[in-house]
Amino acid sequence: MNRRAPLALAGALFLAACVTPPKIVAVYQTEGFEANETFSRLFDASVDATCEAARRALLSQGYQLSTVKNDFISANKHFQPEGETHAQIVFNVVCVAEGTHGKVATAYVNAIQDSYALKKNPNSANLGVSALGSLSIPLSATADSLVKVASETIPAGPFYDRFFVLMQRQLAQAPDDPPER
């Protein structure tokens, strides 16, 4: 037996031990809680007027309201960017009073984008004949279903900035007393 073989084997084992697989970082570890990535904006208006402006802004962009309260709104909108893909944005707004006079409010906003893909499942039929056994006959029909493939909170940035600008415009055009809900 070659004397170098055990030495080479030991060297290979040492190198293998030094190579470690990359660590997978948990999602919460990348959460920065940065002050410049804000999902909120301060408005010179009451909670009711601020949420009313958010409601009008969402309606003006084709969102369907699912929950409407004086201080909370949830709405969604569907998209089909390609033939076999589908996306949905769920938008949530929480309005909170700031100070003691109730004339200033903060709107906290987040939007979640869910993505779906079309999954095709071919159908087949089985035919059982007692003398012959069973026979499987493929059919040309398929059962299509949408399957969620991704879900992500849209990061703070221009998307929310455009929404806040539209809210501010709605506040400027709104009557002094928003309607009762």
Q: Is residue 131 part of a domain?
A: yes
The pLDDT score that the predictor gives to residue 163 is 97
Q: Is residue 178 part of a domain?
A: no
| Mean pLDDT (whole number) for 86-108 | 94
The pLDDT score that the predictor gives to residue 15 is 59
The pLDDT score that the predictor gives to residue 75 is 98
Q: Is residue 27 part of a domain?
A: yes
The pLDDT score that the predictor gives to residue 113 is 97
Neighbour-count burial of 109, counting CB atoms closer than 10 A to its CB (0-12 exposed, 13-18 middle, 19+ buried): buried
Q: Is residue 56 part of a domain?
A: yes
Q: Is residue 17 part of a domain?
A: yes
Q: Is residue 160 part of a domain?
A: yes
CATH number at residue 122: 3.30.310.80
Residue 24 CB: number of other CB atoms within 10 A? 7
Nearest by Cα to 41 from 174, 173, 170: 170
Q: What is the DSSP letter of 180?
A: P
Q: Is residue 24 part of a domain?
A: yes
The tens digit of pLDDT for each residue in 100-156 reads: 888 999 999 999 999 999 888 766 555 555 665 665 555 555 667 889 999 999 998
The tens digit of pLDDT for each residue in 47-79 reads: 999 999 999 999 999 999 999 999 999 999 999
| Mean pLDDT (whole number) for 93-98 | 97
What is the C-alpha to C-alpha distance for residues 172 and 73, in angstroms, rounded to an integer?
20
C-alpha distances out from residue 161 to 27, 35, 76, 123, 172, Å: 25, 15, 18, 48, 17
Q: Is residue 5 part of a domain?
A: no
What is the C-alpha to C-alpha distance for residues 58 and 80, in angstroms, rounded to an integer?
19
pLDDT at 27 over 90: no
What is the C-alpha to C-alpha distance for residues 152 and 26, in angstroms, rounded to an integer?
15
Domain count, the chain: 1
Range of the domain at 112: 10-173
pTM value is 0.71
